[in-house]
Structure 1
Amino acid sequence: MPRARELGWIAEDGLPAGPHNAITDVPGVRVGHGTLVAGAGPLRPGHGPVRTGVTVVLPHAGNLFRNQVVAAVHTINGYGKPFGFEQVRELGRIEAPIALTSTLNVGLVADAPAQYSVRENPEIGISASTVNVLV
């Protein structure tokens, strides 16, 4: 499958792609992914089969809440249901792991980076600001 750069979707900026032409070529960036496949046959709402997943990106290995990274978001179309975009637009920072999932799972998935951040920073919501998760 061709990559975005090969299709001309990413402007040439003079920076070479990494050895794998992947986000994980960036030092410190970590990516995890989980897929749930259950059941077979035709779809029966409420019963399956199930085909879903989630990908989580950690921009660096440190404490994201304390060491936020500069960021921006862009909406290509209005059909997705992003979570946390507005604060990134306003402040230009990411302070929690970034999660990617299907539209119907955004609300469920948002809880995991919030819990992760509170575990790492128990002062969140008490003596520190709340955390903005990005899904």
Structure 2
Amino acid sequence: MDMKLELVVVPVADVDRAKAFYAERAGFRLDVDFSAGEDFRVVQLTPPGSACSIALMKNKETAGSVQGLHLVVADIEAVRAELTGRGVEVSEVFHHEAGGPVPGHDAEERDYANFASFSDPDGNGWLLQQIRRGGEA
């Protein structure tokens, strides 16, 4: 039995501001922007190359509460440069050792080891995680 995660709801205070951030700065594809009256709006966006999308949900009480969403990338430096070039504040690359996060790349450049982080305007937190899968770059 297949079970595919295809949509994650991201709570935001201002849907238009979040839509602009994800579409214009983060480079996500806008799939749907549908309204049915003042109280119902669906804005769905998809990261480049992803099978999973996000849906922006207006909820001021929980805006910024989603943390740790991972965007898997083959070249973390290239994606970081593209995002910063679009105006996204992205952390420097870091990796984890026994004492916690450490600045810089993993010395062995292992898959699953290098990260960078950014947040949307509401504080929802994202991680870039480098996985080359068989040497892809």
Question: Taking structure 2 as the reference length, what is the TM-score of the superposition?
Answer: 0.25
Instruction: State which structure, 1 or 2, has the greater radius of gyration over its C-alpha atoms.
Output: 1
TM-score, L = length of structure 1: 0.25
| Higher strand proportion | 2
